[in-house]
Amino acid sequence: MRKNGEIMKKISIFALIASLFASSVVMANEVNVFNARHYKADGELYSKFTNMTGIKVNLINGKSGALEKRILSEGADSSADLYITADAGRCGAMDAKGALQSGLTSVAIKDAVPKTFRTNKWVGIAKRARIIYYSPERVTGAELSGMTYEGLADPKWKGRLVIRKSSNIYNKSLVASLIKNNGKKATAEWAEGVVANMARTPTGNDRAQIMAVAAGEADIAVANTYYLALMLSGKKGAEQQEAAKKVKAFFPNQNDRGTHMNVSCAALVKGAPNKANAIKLVEFLLTPQSQEHFTNNTFEFPMINGVSPSPLVVNNLGLDFKQDMKTKLASYGKNQAAAVEVMTAAGWK
């Protein structure tokens, strides 16, 4: 009886160990996403991923600056697997600070995302362009003919341009791309011309710039593509919907390198505790199903081929434009400090 008792005791211990091991496996079947994209649609997408794979997505939502500060301060103790945010400049800056690791190199990722839009540490999951919006009542076709980003400094636009603050990441990346293509000196002169052409001190978000053109406060504005479709959708109210109907979109630099492109990006955090699951999630975000979900809910351009943008984008922005495939988005992070220096020196508020 004593021997049987000892056997039962050993079996119980083994069962307990097995149970604990199984629990740890279940607990590990997750991925922690530090998320700076604030779209309800993204949450729906992560739920689909969990239903398909059984991998739980733990979302830590917040503003990009706060999430970046937390990842950097926690260092090796961070629970973050992926940092998902808007703008390649942010992912590039985190890479420069040593917060990311390589690993986004699977065949599925490489096949889906062109080299221009990825590194081995972060990849684009959806595209956008930063373009010019104009009033068709006050801007002629001749004025826009051959228009470039460089042309925003032309004196003919004096008092007619609105654009966001220099601290805005979208502007940092745009200026960084100009530094990459034209050099710092030429871009510094350009920034001075842009400031001289501003109709007002920079204020508000991208939608505020479009509304300023609609209200007659300016003739041209610089803003990302998805904002026009967002306004036209009515999700931001009737006032913004009506304002969006009063402007037209123009894609700059069609006669040379193409229109400035950017992405929402997914970055693999250094020391990610669930690296394999993080890679699986990125691969899932690049499937046609996920890309269609992005385009129809966030009005971004798809990262992969074979998926069409939202009808609102197609009908009001079009598809037939030349994208800048020459300027690698990794340069946005590398030239970010220089971009800030150039804008500050020019008096760009």
Confidence of residue 7 (pLDDT cuts 50, 70, 90): very low
In a shared domain, residues 198 and 332:
yes
In a shared domain, residues 14 and 116:
yes
pLDDT value of residue 246: 98
Over residues 40-63, the pLDDT tens digits come to 889 999 999 999 999 999 999 999
In a shared domain, residues 45 and 173:
no
For residues 75-101, give the mean pLDDT.
96
Q: In this structure, are strands 248-250 and 220-224 parallel, antiparallel, or unpaired? A: unpaired
Residue 192's CATH number: 3.40.190.10
In a shared domain, residues 267 and 226:
no
Measured CA to CA, the distance from residue 133 to residue 235 in angstroms comes to: 20
Confidence of residue 28 (pLDDT cuts 50, 70, 90): low
Residue 157 lies in a domain: yes
Over residues 107-162, the pLDDT tens digits come to 999 999 999 999 999 999 999 999 999 999 999 989 999 999 999 999 999 999 99
In a shared domain, residues 121 and 227:
no
pLDDT value of residue 154: 98
- DSSP annotation of 320 reads -
pLDDT value of residue 318: 82
- Cβ-proximal residues to 123 (8 Å cutoff; 6+ apart), any chain: 104, 109, 113, 117, 265, 266, 282, 286
In a shared domain, residues 224 and 116:
no
pLDDT value of residue 15: 40
Residue 314 lies in a domain: no
Q: What pTM was computed for the model?
A: 0.90
In a shared domain, residues 122 and 199:
no
Over residues 178-228, the pLDDT tens digits come to 999 999 999 999 999 999 999 999 999 999 999 999 999 999 999 999 999
Task: Provide the domain count of the chain.
Answer: 2
Residue 39 lies in a domain: yes
In a shared domain, residues 293 and 254:
no
Measured CA to CA, the distance from residue 237 to residue 331 in angstroms comes to: 37
Instruction: Identify which of 132, 154, 302 has the alpha carbon closest to the alpha carbon of residue 228.
Output: 132
Residue 317 lies in a domain: no
Measured CA to CA, the distance from residue 149 to residue 11 in angstroms comes to: 73
Residue 316 lies in a domain: no
Tokens describing residue 291: 């890309």
Question: Euclidean distance between the first and final Cα of the chain, in Å?
Answer: 85
pLDDT value of residue 216: 98
In a shared domain, residues 6 and 145:
no
Residue 266 lies in a domain: yes
Could you list the residue range(s) of the whole structural domain that residue 31 is in? 2-127+262-309
pLDDT value of residue 10: 43
Where do we find the tokens 């966001």? 164
Q: In this structure, are strands 82-86 and 56-61 parallel, antiparallel, or unpaired? A: unpaired
Residue 8 lies in a domain: yes
In a shared domain, residues 338 and 217:
yes
pLDDT value of residue 9: 43
Residue 22 lies in a domain: yes
pLDDT value of residue 2: 46
Over residues 309-323, the pLDDT tens digits come to 999 999 999 878 999
Over residues 234-277, the pLDDT tens digits come to 999 999 999 999 999 999 999 999 999 999 999 999 999 999 99
In a shared domain, residues 75 and 134:
no
In a shared domain, residues 190 and 270:
no
